[in-house]
Amino acid sequence: MFVSNLVPSVASILLVSDFLVNAAPCRPPPPASKLTAADLIQMGALANCSAETQFPAECRTAAQAAPFVNQGFNKYNITTVGEKAALLSLMLFESGGFAFDINHSLNTPGQGTRAELTFPFILEYALDTPSVAAQARALAGANATDPAAVPADTENAIRALVLPDALSFASAMWFYKQSGAAKTGCTATPGMIAGLQRATLPGWESYITDCVGTTVTDARQAIYEQTLAVFLAQTAAAS
C-alpha cells in the first residue's frame, strides 16, 4: 500500500535510479543530506496516522519519524545514499510505513522496533545500549546469554526497553554497524559495503540476503528503489 504513490519529482529520476541500482559506477553518489518529512512521505512513510486504527499508539508520521531517522544515521556514521536507502527502506517495509513497531503474532514474542528485529537481536541491542542495558540484564537474569530460554513475557518486557523512538528508529543502523559478537554488524560481509555505497542492485541484494538474512522480493525492491530515487533527487537538488 505504500509503494505506489510516486510523485512527479521522484518519477522523473527513476531512469537514473534504475541505472544506479543495476550498474556499478566508478564512485558512489554524493553523501545524502538530512531527511525531511516530505522526503519520507515520498519514500512511503505515512503523512498522518488518522487511518491507522489497529495499533494507533505505535504509528508515527513522517514528521515525527524524520528527526529520529536522521539521529540514527548520525549516531552510526552512515552517510552514503546507497546505505541510507537500504536501511531506511528496510524499516519502511517492516513497519508498514512506520504504522507499527511490534510483531503482534503470538508466535513471535519479543520481536519489534521499526526494523522488526527478532528477539535474540532485541536482547543484544538492549544489552548494547547503555541507557537500558542494566534493566535488560536484570530482566533476562541468568538467561542473558541464552535468548531462547527467556520466557515470552520477559521477551516482551525487554523489547519495550528499545521501543522509544530514539532507539526504535536507529535499530536498522545498529544492526548494520554494531550487532554480533565482533560488534561489526554486517560490515565484514565481502563486497556488500562497496556495492551499497555505490547504490548497486547487487549490493542491496547482498544486504537483504547476507546481512538481514531474508529473501529478496519485488515488494522489498520496489521500496528500496523508491527510497533511493528520493535520496538521489535530494542530492541532485543540493548540487
Residue 1 within a domain: no
Cα–Cα distance, 73 to 94 (Å, whole number): 18
Residue 3 within a domain: no
Q: What is the pLDDT of residue 173?
A: 99
CA dihedral (199, 42, 69, 78) in degrees, to 10, reads 10
Which residue in this structure is represented by grid cell 536501511?
Answer: 87
Rg (Cα) of the chain, in Å, rounded? 17
Do 144 and 186 reside in the same domain of the chain? no
Residue 2 within a domain: no
Cα–Cα distance, 225 to 146 (Å, whole number): 38
Tens-digit pLDDT string for the chain (239 aa): 333 333 334 344 444 444 444 444 456 677 777 999 999 999 999 999 998 889 999 999 999 999 999 999 999 999 999 999 999 999 999 999 999 999 998 889 999 999 999 999 999 999 999 999 999 999 999 999 999 999 999 999 999 999 999 999 999 999 999 999 999 999 999 899 999 999 999 999 999 999 999 999 999 999 999 999 999 998 888 87
Task: Decide which of 162, 177, 202 is a domain's last residue.
Answer: 162
Do 110 and 170 reside in the same domain of the chain? no
Which uninterrupted H or E stretch holds 66?
helix 62-75
Q: What is the pLDDT of residue 12?
A: 40
Helices marked H in 95-217 = 119-127, 130-140, 152-161, 165-168, 171-178, 192-197, 201-206
**CB 74, CB 125: distance < 8 Å:** no
Q: pTM for this one?
A: 0.87
Do 169 and 222 reside in the same domain of the chain? yes
Range of the domain at 131: 102-162
Q: What is the pLDDT of residue 6?
A: 35
Residue 29 within a domain: yes
Do 177 and 148 reside in the same domain of the chain? no
Q: What is the pLDDT of residue 28?
A: 67
Distances (CA, A) of 163 to 29, 58, 100, 115, 151: 32, 9, 11, 11, 19
Q: What is the pLDDT of residue 9?
A: 41
> What letter does residue 47 receive in the DSSP assignment?
S
Task: Decide which of 122, 147, 162 is a domain's last residue.
Answer: 162
Which uninterrupted H or E stretch holds 217?
none
Do 94 and 174 reside in the same domain of the chain? yes
The contacts of residue 135 (CB under 8 Å, 6+ apart) are 126, 161
> Which amino acid is residue 136, in one-letter code?
A
Question: How many domains, in total, are found in the chain?
Answer: 2
**CB 169, CB 58: distance < 8 Å:** no
Residue 84 within a domain: yes
CA neighbor of 90 nearest in space, from 113, 71, 108: 113
Which residue in this structure is represented by grid cell 531506511?
Answer: 88
